[in-house]
């Protein structure tokens, strides 16, 4: 579904490239999470896949970007956005300001595409429920909290029915419950064949929902692979990527003999509970001493 071959990109007026030789293959229906320190190129990669690079941001793009069979350089942005949806980090960049209610905001893009009224209304109701904002349908988008606006921005893209969904930190302003709901909606979309690429900083959720993790560092692919293997890599600390609190606790436990040596380091709470629970019942003298508070 998405192919990048030796992609290099430099923003206008800059001398240092934001992307260096990025080569990636992302399959249809896959959820691919992008992680990396600030400035690693996560947002730029999303803009490049979506065609905003080079059609909107301009600059110098080298290499090949193919999305859903289309070379993004050879097709105009107005055509690319019919198939690829991008949700920006700041929801105010997404909300049009041309409509008075959330329901009308979701209808805005469909009206521009000439979608019949009956089909439009059905799609709007479906997405309102999917993202959990049906109760906000008659409110003004500008009267909502930041987290609610972020859901509206996501819904305004989902209602267009993209085959590729690009999310630049989509849950940064959501509370834990809202975050889980949005990730559940993303997972359901992937099961229906939508390809999802998201830049995210929450390793526990990435481990639970993503199919693959791509680590970016200084505009290059530093590592990629299954979430639980990549997100527990000790090398992440060296490039400024935060690991989960459960991974940190298990590392400390490993040093003190209270984490099983043969057990992979955890990323999620359930994995941590299973690992520490197994150590507590293993009969390991160091584990038993630590459990009793002895040194």
Domain ranges of the chain: 245-291
> Where do runs of H (alpha helix) occur along 6-65?
42-50, 52-55
Q: What's the mean pLDDT in 70-76?
A: 95
Q: Which residue has the higher pLDDT, 232 or 9?
A: 9
Q: What's the mean pLDDT in 108-128?
A: 91
Give the pLDDT confidence score for residue 192 in this predicted structure: 86
Number of other residues whose CB lies within 10 A of the CB of residue 126:
13
Give the pLDDT confidence score for residue 288 in this predicted structure: 45
Give the pLDDT confidence score for residue 285 in this predicted structure: 45
150 touches 173 (CB < 8 A): yes
CA 241/CA 202 separation, integer angstroms: 11
Place of tokens 């008075």: 100
Number of other residues whose CB lies within 10 A of the CB of residue 270:
12
Least confidently predicted of 76-85, 86-95, 104-113, 188-197: 86-95
CA-wise closest residue to 154 among 172, 167, 137 = 167
Reading the block at residue 132, the tokens are 């959990």
Give the pLDDT confidence score for residue 291 in this predicted structure: 43
Residue 76 pLDDT level (bands cut at 50, 70, 90):
very high
Check pLDDT > 90 for residue 55. Answer: yes
Give the pLDDT confidence score for residue 112 in this predicted structure: 84
Check pLDDT > 90 for residue 242. Answer: no
Select, from the ranges 8-12, 148-152, 256-260, the one with the highest average predicted confidence (pLDDT): 8-12
Distance, CA of 118 to chain centre: 32
Q: What's the mean pLDDT in 70-94?
A: 89
pTM, to two decimals: 0.85
Q: What's the mean pLDDT in 210-216?
A: 96
């Amino acid at each position: 579904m998405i192919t990048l071959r030796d992609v290099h990109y430099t923003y206008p007026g800059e001398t240092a490239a934001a992307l260096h030789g990025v080569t990636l293959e992302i399959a249809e229906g896959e959820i691919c999470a992008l992680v990396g320190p600030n400035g690693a190129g996560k947002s730029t990669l999303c803009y490049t896949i979506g065609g905003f690079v080079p059609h909107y941001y301009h600059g110098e793009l080298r290499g090949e970007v193919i999305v859903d069979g289309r070379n993004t350089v050879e097709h105009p942005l107005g055509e690319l956005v019919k198939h690829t949806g991008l949700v920006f980090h700041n929801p105010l960049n997404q909300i049009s300001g041309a409509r008075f209610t959330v329901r009308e905001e979701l209808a805005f893009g469909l009206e521009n595409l000439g979608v019949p009224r009956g089909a439009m209304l059905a799609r709007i109701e479906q997405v309102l429920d999917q993202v959990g904002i049906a109760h906000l349908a008659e409110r003004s988008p500008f009267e909502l909290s930041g987290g609610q606006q972020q859901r509206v921005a996501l819904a305004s893209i989902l209602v267009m029915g993209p085959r590729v969904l690009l999310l630049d930190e989509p849950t940064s302003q959501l509370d834990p419950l809202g975050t889980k709901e949005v990730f559940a909606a993303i997972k359901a979309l992937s099961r229906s064949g939508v390809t999802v690429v998201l830049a995210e900083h929450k390793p526990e959720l990435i481990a639970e929902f993503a199919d693959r993790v791509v680590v970016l560092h200084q505009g290059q692919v530093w590592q990629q692979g299954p979430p639980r293997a990549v997100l527990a890599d000790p090398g992440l600390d060296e490039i400024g990527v935060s690991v989960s609190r459960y991974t940190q606790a298990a590392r400390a436990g490993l040093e003190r003999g209270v984490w099983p040596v043969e057990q992979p380091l955890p990323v999620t709470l359930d994995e941590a509970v299973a690992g520490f629970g197994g150590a507590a019942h293993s009969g390991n003298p160091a584990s038993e001493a630590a459990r009793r508070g002895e040194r």
